[in-house]
């Protein structure tokens, strides 16, 4: 089958939402399909340009080129094809669920109207799709609530998950993700103020301005207890760190996806510590089954750090639970390929 994958991206900014697209291209090719990936330049979301781009992408009609297209980040879902499948991974959230929390535009009648029209336009595009998949129940619910469209959850798998392996339950809680304010690594660093066991914490990820707050906290903690690797670590390094981790922690706020870090940990048979305001990460992690779901409170987190350090059997039981959860949720490429091409 000839398939075109369409998403948006900011030139020379990699990572994030590109993985799902790039990995799918590789996998579909492995399955013998012909695949082209089209990245359309992404515009800044917080101005009227977004509507212009929605309409502009509408002018792109790929009917003649492929048997179907699969779209990802909005507004790539505006691109036209008679057999359009959407893997809808998030809305333009500042106009959706985040509107009442964080708004880059003034709360004027204009922008309220803009928001209403955006939802209606998204509904139009979603309704014309051959199928709409999302990356989580959380996103599915949002699409249902805001756009009135039913969707199917299709959890994105990892590329080559066999690169993650189990070695041991060491004494280190590991967190691998870019330093961002909303990823809240500072909660983990602050937790280390309250621990009573010799448990250690390792934070790895590309540096951003969010790093400073984490470093400031870490400085107050005795040397050797908190390790910060402020860089993009290689996949091999990541696998190695996860293999010997005691567990992982991943404490973002209101995520759309269930989180690659959680899935990577599960492939290494490690439990995940997440927070109850973490959004879709809770779809994978249930409290006491695949890890712990905690309030975003350093003391509560510290308590679990100590508990896991003191009870490796618990770490093992939850790690096994996490590994089992992958199959339970049907996370894997064969299913993804079957559903997307159905």
On whether the CB atoms of residues 69 and 3 are closer than 8 A, the answer is yes
Rank residues 14 and 165 by Cβ distance to another protein and give the closer one: 14
The CA-to-CA distance between both ends of the chain, in Å, stands at 11
Rank residues 108 and 234 by Cβ distance to another protein and give the closer one: 108
Residue for token digits 């996806």?
A: 257
Measured from the CB of residue 51, what is the shortest distance to another protein in angstroms?
5
Measured from the CB of residue 138, what is the shortest distance to another protein in angstroms?
25
Burial classification of residue 278, based on how many CB atoms lie within 10 Å of its CB (0-12 exposed, 13-18 middle, 19 or more buried): buried
Please state, in angstroms and rounded to a whole number, the distance separating the CA atoms of residues 283 and 270: 16
Q: Could you tell me which stretch among 39-47, 84-92, 162-170, 260-268 binds another protein (CB under 8 A)?
A: 39-47
Query: Contacting another protein (CB under 8 A), which of 43, 210, 221, 324?
Result: 43
On whether the CB atoms of residues 331 and 290 are closer than 8 A, the answer is no
Residues numbered 280 to 339 that lie near another protein (CB under 8 A) are none
Query: Contacting another protein (CB under 8 A), which of 49, 181, 231, 299?
Result: 49
Across-strand partners of 273? 249, 292
The site for another protein, by CB under 8 A, has a size of: 46
53 sits near another protein (criterion: CB under 8 A): yes
Q: Which x/- pattern over 74-103 shows residues binding another protein (rule: CB under 8 A)?
A: ----x-------------------------
Please report which helix (H) or strand (E) contains residue 123, including its range: helix 109-127
61 sits near another protein (criterion: CB under 8 A): yes
Query: Contacting another protein (CB under 8 A), which of 21, 27, 28, 54?
Result: 54
26 sits near another protein (criterion: CB under 8 A): no
Cβ atoms within 10 Å of 61's Cβ, excluding its own = 11
Q: Which x/- pattern over 105-144 shows residues binding another protein (rule: CB under 8 A)?
A: -x-xxx--xx-xx--xx--xx-------------------
- CA 288, 244, 260, 197: dihedral to nearest 10 degrees? 50
15 sits near another protein (criterion: CB under 8 A): no
Q: At what angle do helices 235-243 and 260-267 cross, to 10 degrees?
A: 60
2 sits near another protein (criterion: CB under 8 A): yes
SS (H, E, C) 30-99: HCCCEEEEEEEECCCCCCCHHHHHHHHHHCCECCCCCCEEEECCCCHHHCECCCEEEEECCCCHHHCCCC
24 sits near another protein (criterion: CB under 8 A): no
Which residues form the interface with another protein (CB under 8 A)? 2, 4, 9-13, 34, 36, 38-44, 48-49, 51-62, 64-66, 78, 106, 108-110, 113-114, 116-117, 120-121, 124-125
């Amino acid at each position: 089958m000839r398939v075109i994958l369409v998403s948006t991206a900011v030139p020379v900014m990699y990572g994030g939402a590109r993985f799902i697209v790039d990995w799918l291209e590789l996998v579909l090719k492995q399955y013998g399909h012909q695949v082209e990936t089209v990245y359309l330049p992404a515009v800044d979301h917080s101005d009227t340009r977004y509507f212009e781009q929605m309409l502009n992408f509408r002018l792109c009609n790929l009917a003649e080129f492929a048997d179907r297209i699969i779209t990802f980040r909005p507004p790539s879902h505006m691109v036209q094809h008679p057999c359009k499948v959407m893997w809808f991974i998030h809305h333009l959230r500042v106009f959706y669920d985040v509107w009442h929390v964080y708004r880059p535009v003034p709360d004027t009648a204009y922008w309220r109207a803009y928001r209403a029209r955006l939802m209606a336009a998204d509904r139009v595009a979603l309704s014309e799709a051959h199928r709409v998949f999302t990356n989580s129940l959380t996103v599915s619910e949002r699409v249902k609530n805001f756009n009135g469209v039913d969707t199917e959850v299709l959890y994105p798998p990892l590329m080559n998950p066999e690169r993650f392996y189990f070695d041991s339950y060491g004494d280190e809680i590991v967190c691998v993700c870019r330093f961002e304010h909303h990823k809240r690594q500072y909660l983990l660093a602050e937790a280390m103020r309250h621990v009573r066991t010799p448990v250690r914490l390792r934070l790895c990820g590309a540096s951003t301005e969010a790093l400073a707050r984490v470093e400031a906290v870490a400085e107050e903690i005795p040397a050797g207890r908190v390790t910060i690797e402020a860089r993009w670590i290689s996949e091999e390094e990541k696998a190695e760190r996860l293999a010997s981790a005691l567990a992982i922690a991943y404490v973002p706020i209101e995520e759309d996806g269930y989180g690659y870090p959680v899935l990577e940990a599960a492939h290494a048979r490690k439990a995940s510590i997440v927070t109850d305001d973490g959004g879709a990460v809770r779809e994978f992690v249930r409290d006491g089954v695949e890890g712990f779901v905690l309030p975003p409170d350093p003391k509560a987190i510290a308590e679990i750090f100590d508990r896991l350090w003191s009870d490796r059997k618990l770490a093992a039981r939850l790690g096994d639970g996490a590994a089992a959860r992958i199959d339970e949720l049907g996370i894997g490429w064969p299913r993804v390929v079957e559903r997307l091409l159905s």
